Amino acid sequence: MPRRDIFLTTKVWNEDQGYEATKKAFDASIERLGGKDAVEPLDLYLIHWPTPEKDTYVETFKAMLELRDAGRVRAVGVCNFEPEHLQRLKDETGEFPAINQVELHPKFQQKAVRDFCSANGIAVEAWSPLGQGGDILTNPVLDGIAERLGKTVAQVIIRWHLQIGNVVIPKSVTPSRIAENFDVFDFELTEDDLFAISDLDSSDGRIGPHPNDFN
């Protein structure tokens, strides 16, 4: 495929955070992806976690903004940032990130994070959008909606993400499931469906670590 048809994203990992370290990590990533001539400008560069104990994410973000302003990356964003982390970026750099990639699925809906991002022009991207499978795919509420629509539970969840405004990129290595995941544009969930799914949210539905604890 030609490069222009690919949206290419990579991340700076926790141990590579910091102003100079981030720039070095970016160069290393570009080389692993095929070199500057092959892939630049990168479409999106992300901070993987805020790692608050290290307190390097602001300097990391400053380096990323410089890479963007130099034309080496089109947009910069973050992952797993809470509202207080996002606000600090704005306070200390004058900018919010373009996107915040967070754990987000029907059992952990992150409304406070989504509301903050929406109010400040930050796109929200879901990781583990299907809750890593498991019992969520046999949930009776979701199963009932899927049966009524003639869709799978996974398709209902992806459609839910789209209708509430999330960027959603479910992971699969199975061609048939990849095709199934794209087949979500010929139906819509009703307001009653959205309300029923909102009731599945749980304060203990988180799968991964809390951003304030992961360092």
What do you get for the CA distance between the two ends of the chain, in Å? Answer: 37
Given pLDDT bands bounded at 50, 70 and 90, which one contains residue 15?
Answer: very high
Is residue 113 one of the residues assigned to a domain?
no
Model pLDDT, residue 133: 86
Given pLDDT bands bounded at 50, 70 and 90, which one contains residue 152?
Answer: very high
Burial of 52 (0-12, 13-18, 19+ CB in 10 A): middle
The chain-wide mean pLDDT, for the chain, equals: 97
Residue type, 101: Q
pTM passes above 0.85: yes
Q: How far apart are CA 147 and CA 152, in angstroms?
A: 7
Residue type, 141: V
Is residue 10 one of the residues assigned to a domain?
yes
Count of structural domains within the chain: 2
149 and 91, same structural domain? no
pLDDT tens digit sequence for 106-144:
999 999 999 999 999 999 999 999 999 889 999 999 999
pLDDT tens digit sequence for 153-200:
999 999 999 999 999 988 889 999 999 999 999 999 999 999 999 999
Is residue 191 one of the residues assigned to a domain?
yes
- State which of 82, 97, 112 marks the end of a domain: 97
| Contact status, residue 81 vs residue 170, Cβ threshold 8 Å | no
| For residue 45, pLDDT beyond 90 | yes
Range of the domain at 205: 130-215
Model pLDDT, residue 14: 96
| For residue 61, pLDDT beyond 90 | yes
Model pLDDT, residue 10: 97
Q: How far apart are CA 49 and CA 215, in angstroms?
A: 8
7 and 80, same structural domain? yes
91 and 3, same structural domain? yes
Is residue 115 one of the residues assigned to a domain?
no
Model pLDDT, residue 134: 83
| For residue 49, pLDDT beyond 90 | yes
pLDDT tens digit sequence for 85-112:
999 999 999 999 999 999 999 999 999 9
What are residue 108's phi and psi, to 5 degrees?
A: -150, 90
Is residue 122 one of the residues assigned to a domain?
no
Is residue 207 one of the residues assigned to a domain?
yes
Is residue 111 one of the residues assigned to a domain?
no
